Amino acid sequence: MKIAAVTRDGRIARTIAESTEILIVTEENGLPTAKEIVPIEDDEITSVLFKLAMQNIDVLLAGEIGTALQSTLRMLGVQMLPGCEGDAVENIAGYLTNEDIGDPSKIVIPEEDEDDPLNCLHDCAKCMAGCHDRPIQRNEG
């Protein structure tokens, strides 16, 4: 199993958008067997999701997670543990030893946005995926 944490300076980032790297720990039989750090740099959220998918992440430890991101991660087969804070390595170790970490109430539900031109069910104007910048296609006729 691969457990990932989105981090900034070795600590769990408040949001994925604020993270600078992804710490990935591979676990076998309850013991860590490998550790890898994947830089994020100035990547957009879609690039970060792509990196998570390419690494075959099973569990993601994070701070706040929006509902759109939650849906996307669920489609990728990633289990989420929001509400984590503090040292990333300690959080992953706590997860591996079945400690009570995270806070499920940190799933952020966005408010309705009257200016959302796509009127998305998941409020893509706030999910940072960039789709709100795309022109609206209207059927003429």
pLDDT (tens digit per residue) in 98-107:
888 888 776 6
Gap between the Cα atoms of 102 and 27, Å rounded: 19
User: Model's pTM, two decimal places?
Assistant: 0.72
Instruction: With cut-offs at 50, 70 and 90, classify the pLDDT of residue 139.
Output: very low
Residues 6+ apart with CB under 8 A from 28: 1
Tracing tokens 């990547």 back to the chain, one arrives at 43
- Predicted pLDDT of residue 115: 53
- Angstrom CA distances, 77 to 18, 87, 90, 141, stand at 23, 25, 24, 41
- Predicted pLDDT of residue 42: 72
Span 112-131, pLDDT tens digits: 555 544 444 444 444 445 45
- Angstrom CA distances, 19 to 23, 35, 39, 75, 84, stand at 10, 18, 9, 22, 13
Per-residue pLDDT, averaged over 69-94, amounts to 88
* Tokens standing for residue 31: 């013991």
Is domain 2-109 in CATH 3.30.420.130, yes or no?
A: yes
Gap between the Cα atoms of 60 and 6, Å rounded: 8
Span 21-72, pLDDT tens digits: 999 999 998 889 999 999 987 767 777 888 888 888 999 999 988 777 888 8
- Predicted pLDDT of residue 114: 56
Pair 131, 121: CB distance under 8 Å: no
